[in-house]
């Protein structure tokens, strides 16, 4: 059988400022660099790489959503996150359509007319099998270890400082944080909760600098497809405490590299946080283990996994070298 040839790869929302679309951008980059398929960013709104929070090594040419729909052909590839399922690209458009399913709550009903699906983690993979009868490969995302700042050692950071990260369903986050503050005020007033970092709009260098200044990173996002920022906090040498977000179980090992529990066990989160601050030797060991865990989620591993996945799914071999 002859090798299949493709002309272009269109990446929906490649420059939207969030982790999921940043992964989609890198799928386009892999197809361009390793397979020789020209990558094009599709604007959903007015986003550009200059407006984003991430570092884009190559600026792809851009087209509007309407232009993509008019131009896409059978020998093109479309990279789409599941949050765009309402567009029904799978039903309406030609080309080979790939969905990197990085969450389970960003869509009401998954577009089931794509040619290929890949899950971000085992939890999402089980969700797809249970709900949609899809048996998919799992390729976790990566964190850019090379771009992380050099931080002070764990023991040199403020002893009782906890850095909350405000991401997730706002009402659930607020109720969880309010209950946590009440418990800490009554039982552990020596614990200092820093101003929560907003879950969006913060350039990564600033985000990483703030996270890396504290010993403890608090995550209260109730549900995540994976959860990149707690993993980045591990890489920055923090002790991660909070909810596992379901998808975070891919890399979170409670009492081995973190102190996490399922939502909505906020009383247990409070107990774990108090224990962590009051037992710094154990917390430092958790932080060291978390940092080691984070090294596994590197770009080289991500890239190689996707080269193999694209080769099999597309029926085309990567370029030599």
SS3 of 102-128: CCCCCCCCCCCCCCEEEECCHHHHHHH
Q: 249 has which bridge partners?
A: none
Give pLDDT, residue 247: 98
Tens-place pLDDT, residues 28-73: 999 999 999 999 999 999 899 988 889 899 999 999 999 999 999 9
Residue 223 pLDDT > 80: yes
The SS3 assignment for 169 reads: coil
Residues 238-247 have a mean pLDDT of 98
Residue 321 pLDDT > 80: no
Distance, in Å, from the CA atom of 172 to the CA atom of 154, rounded to the nearest integer, reads 30
Torsion, Cα of 93, 95, 96, 102 (10° steps): -40
pTM (2 decimals)? Answer: 0.96
Residue 199 pLDDT > 60: yes
Q: Which of 233, 241, 290, 230 is nearest to 265 (CA)?
A: 241
Residue 320 included in any domain: no
How many structural domains are present in the chain? 2
Range of the domain at 69: 8-142+298-314
Residue 34 included in any domain: yes
Mean pLDDT, the chain, rounded, equals 96
Residue 245 included in any domain: yes
Q: Which two tokens stand for residue 32?
A: 């361009």
CATH of the domain at 78: 3.40.50.2000
Residue 319 included in any domain: no
How far lies 318's CA from each of 57, 205, 306, 310, in Å?
20, 33, 11, 9
- Quickly state the pLDDT bin for 182 (edges 50, 70, 90): very high
Q: How many residues does the chain have?
A: 321
């Amino acid at each position: 059988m002859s090798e299949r040839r493709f002309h272009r790869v269109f990446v929906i929302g490649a420059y939207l400022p969030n982790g999921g679309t940043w992964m989609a951008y890198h799928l386009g980059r892999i197809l361009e660099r390793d397979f020789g398929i020209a990558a094009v960013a599709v604007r959903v709104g007015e986003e550009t790489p200059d407006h984003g929070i991430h570092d884009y090594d190559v600026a792809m040419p851009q087209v509007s959503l309407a232009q993509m729909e008019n131009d896409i052909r059978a020998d093109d590839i479309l990279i789409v996150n599941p949050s765009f399922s309402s567009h029904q690209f799978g039903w309406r458009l030609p080309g080979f359509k790939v969905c990197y399913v990085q969450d389970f709550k960003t869509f009401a009903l998954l577009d089931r007319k794509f040619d290929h699906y890949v899950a971000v983690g085992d939890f999402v993979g089980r969700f797809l099998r249970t709900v949609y009868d899809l048996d998919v490969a799992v390729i976790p995302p990566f964190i850019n270890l090379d771009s992380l700042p050099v931080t002070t050692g764990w023991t040199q950071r403020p002893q009782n400082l906890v850095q909350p990260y405000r991401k997730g369903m706002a009402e659930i986050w607020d109720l969880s944080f309010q209950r946590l503050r009440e418990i800490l005020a009554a039982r552990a007033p020596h614990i200092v909760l820093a101003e929560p970092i907003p879950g969006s709009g913060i350039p990564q260098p600033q985000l990483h600098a703030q996270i890396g200044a504290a010993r403890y990173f608090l995550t209260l996002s109730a549900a995540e497809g994976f959860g990149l920022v707690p993993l980045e906090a591990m890489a920055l040498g923090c002790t991660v405490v909070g909810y596992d977000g379901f998808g975070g179980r891919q890399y979170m090992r409670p009492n081995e590299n973190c102190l996490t529990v399922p939502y909505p066990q906020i009383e247990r989160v409070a107990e774990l946080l108090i224990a962590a601050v009051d037992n710094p030797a154990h917390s430092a060991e958790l932080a060291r283990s978390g940092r080691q865990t984070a090294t596994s989620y590197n770009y080289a591993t991500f890239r190689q996994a996707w080269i193999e996945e694209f080769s099999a799914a597309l029926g085309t071999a990567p370029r030599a070298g």
